[in-house]
A and B are shown apart, each in its own frame.
Chain A
Amino acid sequence: MEITLKNIIPVPLKENLEKRPSEVWHNEISFSPAKKVKIKAPSGTGKTTLVHFLYGLRSDYTGQLSWDGKPLQGLDSDKVAGYRQKQISIVFQDLRLFAHLTARENIELNRVLQEPYYPTGVIEDMAAELQVDHILHQEAGICSYGEQQRIAIIRALVQPFSLLVMDEPFSHLDQENTKKAAALIERECEKRSAGFVLTDLDEDSFFNYNTYLNL
């Protein structure tokens, strides 16, 4: 899928953002499967807001945001759900796991929401790769942030997608775990020929980005 932004400015941040130079706000840009995009964004510049706009969670902006050329606000909720099941996957900054489901159930849920892309055994493999296989049976609510973040990453990777949106996906991980997670994400994106958008506060070298944007 392709997401295109035309002169998007979030209404609550309008006054602040109009004065600042930005490569995203009040610009024309697009995200597509061919692009590996890094968006560098200092605090308070609307990084999470942008992620929520891209994923269709919020619509308090001016300008036009389209999924595959269709204005997002005109899509009905069943169509949006269809995109979220097959085209676009996400790792939230605030993780958003069901606290009283186990880690495995959280991942499994996203696997079976649509025609499964992977058999259920893949959960085990990915969890082992990210060293969280021992907490799969635990309720997500009692896992550490680092564990929850890896569960959220695996959850995003068990579904089909052509675009992966990640909001500070490694904020709770140490360097080694970050490397492993990035490798897994890279591999899964390549397998699907999918592109991704990653937002972070600083410069990084997790991936071979081909587009850099400053928010």
Chain B
Amino acid sequence: MSALAGSIVDTKALLQTVGYSLLAGIGVTFIFSIAIFGFARFSEMGREDRSPSAVVFGGLAVLATIAFAGAIVLGIIVMTSK
């Protein structure tokens, strides 16, 4: 039965769709949340004159923003590269 289903359905493509969707949907949201977290903490530390911590969180925010932009660009490249 499973062999029959396997011959009808392109299981590999379907599983890859599920995998890519989970990875992209959850991964991009995770990275962007880290960026927001970094910026929020950077702003808070800056107001409290805690410069070293502010720099750390600012760096985290910038790195996460770059990773977010990279993930979007990678997604577009994958879409257009088949």
A binds B: no
